[in-house]
Amino acid sequence: MLRAMGKVYSDATAAVADIRDGATLAVGGFGLCGIPENAITALRENGVRDLTVVSNNCGVDDFGLGILLANHQIRKMVSSYVGENKIFEQQFLSGELEVELVPQGTLAERMRAGGSGIPGFYTPTGVGTPIADGKELRDFDGVPYLLEHAITADFALVRAWKGDRLGNLVFRKTARNFNPLVAMAGRVTIAEVEELVEVGELDGDHVHTPGVFVQRVFVAQGLEKRIERRTVTTVEA
């Protein structure tokens, strides 16, 4: 668990070593794009259990958060999309996995609010659906809105393209997705980066997540960058 200096950790194993049973994790990514795959693999290896995981989805059966499901390490998922994963379906139907479905925009805003110190907000999304069950309903100018509570997590796991030793992060293209919001929502945010640069090398105008939100950084190794589902069309000459 030795750190090279400051926020920089030697590898994923060291960065997640103090995540304990019962922790709440916010995890970046959309499908398999921009997921912190090194940190997820390290969690599987350390065997931590009874996790509550907040993430847009839960990977696939053999990759991403799906490997934690397969190892029975996740107790509850807070997600927008739960397809592409047979293990998820099996565990949910058997009662082993608790699931809280949240509309995608609402999930994003709940994490942004948590990172901004805002305890809750009202949204029209979900009114008149099962999403509204048990939630406060209030009218604004004759329009019904639901009260949604902010999300904060014990730890946040994100994946960035570049980062510096102070934790400033830059995400690349669609891998940006939920990652900046997840980084805000964690009490301890752990970033795996494809490239670690020295302080001052990142253009300040292009930093997506300031280092104030990030407590740990390590360089990712052996990245697969898998495609969730490949569709091929054959064109006849």
List of domains in the chain: 3-219 (3.40.1080.10)
Return the pLDDT at 62.
87
Distances in Å between the alpha carbon of 57 and those of 25, 121, 124, 188?
Answer: 13, 23, 22, 21
d(CA 218, CA 196): 8
Return the pLDDT at 225.
67
Q: What are phi and psi of 156, to 5 degrees?
A: -120, 135
Number of continuous H segments (helices) and E segments (strands) in the chain: 6, 13
DSSP-derived pairing of the beta strands 120-123 and 143-149: antiparallel
Return the pLDDT at 226.
67
d(CA 191, CA 115): 16
Per-residue pLDDT of the chain (237 residues; tens, 9 = 90+): 444 458 999 999 999 999 999 999 999 999 999 999 999 999 999 999 999 999 999 999 889 999 999 999 999 999 999 877 899 999 999 999 999 999 999 999 999 999 999 999 999 999 999 999 999 999 999 999 999 999 999 999 999 999 999 999 999 999 999 999 999 999 999 999 999 999 999 999 999 999 999 999 999 997 776 666 667 777 776
Counted residue by residue, the chain has a size of 237
- Give, as one character, the DSSP assignment of residue 33: B
Return the pLDDT at 165.
96
Model pTM? Answer: 0.91
d(CA 10, CA 120): 37
Return the pLDDT at 4.
45
